[in-house]
Chains A and B, each alone.
Chain A
Amino acid sequence: MALTALFFYLFAAVTVMSGLLVIVARNPVHAVLWLILAFFNAAGLFVLLGAEFLAMILVVVYVGAVAVLFLFVVMMLDVDFASLRAGFIRHASVGALVGLVLLVELIMVLGTRVLTGAGVGAGAVKTAVTDPNLTNTEAIGRLLYTQYVYFFQAAGLILLVAMIGAIVLTLRHKEGVRRQSISVQNARTPAMAVEVVKLAPGQVIVPSGERRG
């Protein structure tokens, strides 16, 4: 399909370009915006592969939620660009080393795929999508809730632990903070808040707390 190829090159080129711009962009907010574009185009690539469900989940979770938080944090930071660039030469060697390790690993993964003609663990996955009548979502669901149900549950448990950990790390009960209680607010009636005072002509109102005999 020529059309698919055309869209593949479009999405792939934009993904690579915006990925590059994430690290090149001087303004961190621009970098996050480029990152969002990269996510979005990766979702496009998923659609081309026929994995619509994954594509939509990528957009909902990464673009719709995670990247918003990134953007929040980066916008709030007052980044000093001069001090960021000061240590560039000093850290360049470490960065290059990490990059090199990642590159070698990527080549190894892709190399095995090319050599054996299949990805790692592809044999297990092949049992799944055999029924052509199944939609993408159903196929993933059947696999996830049958064959991989324990891994799925374990992943859920890890996320739960991470969530509780984040709450424990950040939750602090400060002394002396005045908190609102909605039920108390809602239970307030005019009788509790308003005092009706009968005034004789020329009489002065004195707040009830300081009323003198």
Chain B
Amino acid sequence: MFPTTFETWWDYALWLALMVGASVLLLASLLIIIAFLLLMDRKVWAAVQLRRGPNVVGPFGLLQSFADLLKFVLKEPVIPAGADKGVFLLAPLVTSVLALAAWAVIPIGSGIVISDLNVGILYLFAISSLGVYGIIMGGWASNSKYPFLGSLRSAAQMVSYEVSIGFVIITVLLLVGSLNMSAIVMSQKTGIGTSLGLPSSFLDWNWLVLFPMFVVFFISALAETNRPPFDLPEAESELVAGFMVEYSSTPYLLFMLGEYVAIVTMCALTTIMFMGGWLPPIDHWLINWIPGPIWFLLKVTFVFFMFAMVKAMVPRYRYDQLMRLGWKVFLPLSLAMVVAVAAILHFGGLAP
């Protein structure tokens, strides 16, 4: 996608311009899509509770997220007197920048990726494990009890569930034999379906082979992004709004943005690892005609819909139950699956 040899000063300039242009395009479309996903989240939630949801701003309330954006930007940012000003303002920036940085390695179509790293999934894992810093810094810098408690909860929760996410990623890697995101998608062209003589279809994707891991990953992704039913850091009945209590205006907006970008990143990761990325559900000329990024978007939207349904239907966990689920259920389960998958691949002669 980009020139790789640099001879003159112009090559550098061209490369820089292409890189910046592609990044801006990706981020702008990502943010606009997230604005509508946010609306979808609220609409789904409302529909489950037999409400109408936001329906005033624009047709069907389509412009609600943009109205919220304007509202947040135009409000006064309040910094508490006892707060550590630098860290307090740095925290939301860290959260949102890190969340957006993850999208550098996510392939949205065949070859359509900003940087096709050969350790792509490890990069994504590293960046998502850094997301906890924004929350800890915000909670500590607020110099207030509830934010601090919220950030401690959040940090412990994210660190716990990262372990099982790591093991789930390892099982996928064992199956694929590469850390490259595009390679992970391409390896899902063949699988259970094709081994039975069927054409390449959705039966080849990893969700079927690794179904238990798919479930573990989905639930861990909910916990990792502090989504309900695991939104303990901002459990309003216990901690007001968790680490965000003291935040207002644009810093609050950045926190919210970072959170939703992280959620969509997790949806994208689920799509890439388990649902065949940009691959069409059935290998047919009519369906192949629809471009890959559209399929990718549809799949991400589907996973996000499941996130929204979980939020609408499942009651919130208690904190000790959350920790128990992470350490005593998911960790042994995913570790056992790593061993089992490795053994099957090795002794079955199926290793890539």
Query: Which residue of the partner chain A has the closest CB to B179?
Result: A137
| CB neighbours of A53 from chain B (8 A) | 119, 122
- Whole-angstrom CA separation of A27 from B129 in the bound complex: 24
Please tell me which stretch of A56-64, A88-96, A124-132, A191-199 contacts chain B, meaning at least 4 of its Cβ atoms lie within 8 angstroms of it.
A56-64
CB distance from B249 to the nearest CB of A (A): 24
- Determine if A60 and B125 form an interchain contact, defined as CB atoms under 8 angstroms apart: yes
Please tell me which stretch of A16-24, A68-76, A103-111 contacts chain B, meaning at least 4 of its Cβ atoms lie within 8 angstroms of it.
A68-76
**Restricting to B53-97, which residues have a CB under 8 Å from any CB of A?**
84, 87
For the side of the interface on B, what is the size category?
20 to 34
B152 contacts the other chain (CB 8 A): yes
- Determine if A137 and B118 form an interchain contact, defined as CB atoms under 8 angstroms apart: yes
- Determine if B129 and A72 form an interchain contact, defined as CB atoms under 8 angstroms apart: no
CB distance from A103 to the nearest CB of B (A): 32
CB distance from B212 to the nearest CB of A (A): 20
| CB neighbours of B179 from chain A (8 A) | 135, 137
A60 with B126, Cβ < 8 A, contacts A3-B12, A137-B118 known: yes
CB distance from B20 to the nearest CB of A (A): 15
Please encode chain B, from 118 to 139, with 1 for each CB lying within 8 Å of some chain A CB and 0 for all others: 1100110111011011001100
- Determine if B6 and A59 form an interchain contact, defined as CB atoms under 8 angstroms apart: no
- Determine if B130 and A3 form an interchain contact, defined as CB atoms under 8 angstroms apart: no
CB distance from A24 to the nearest CB of B (A): 15
A63 with B129, Cβ < 8 A, contacts A68-B155, A71-B136, A182-B324 known: yes
A102 contacts the other chain (CB 8 A): no
A33 contacts the other chain (CB 8 A): yes
A170 contacts the other chain (CB 8 A): no
| CB neighbours of B129 from chain A (8 A) | 59-60, 63-65
Query: Which residue of the partner chain A has the closest CB to B139?
Result: A75
Query: Which residue of the partner chain B has the closest CB to A57?
Result: B122
- Whole-angstrom CA separation of A22 from B132 in the bound complex: 20
**Restricting to A1-33, which residues have a CB under 8 Å from any CB of B?**
1, 3, 27, 29-30, 33
- Determine if A33 and B137 form an interchain contact, defined as CB atoms under 8 angstroms apart: yes
Give chain A's interface residues, CB within 8 Å of chain B: 1, 3, 27, 29-30, 33, 36, 52-53, 56-57, 59-60, 63-65, 68, 71-72, 75, 135-137, 180, 182
What would 4 more interface pairs be, CB under 8 Å, given A30-B87, A53-B122, A63-B126? A52-B122, A60-B129, A71-B133, A75-B140
Give chain B's interface residues, CB within 8 Å of chain A: 6, 12, 84, 87, 117-119, 122-123, 125-127, 129-130, 132-133, 136-137, 140, 148, 152, 155, 159, 162, 166, 179, 320-321, 324
Can you sample 20 A-B contacts with CB below 8 Å? A1-B6, A56-B122, A59-B126, A60-B126, A63-B129, A64-B126, A64-B129, A64-B162, A65-B129, A68-B133, A68-B136, A68-B155, A68-B159, A71-B133, A71-B136, A71-B155, A72-B155, A135-B118, A137-B119, A182-B321
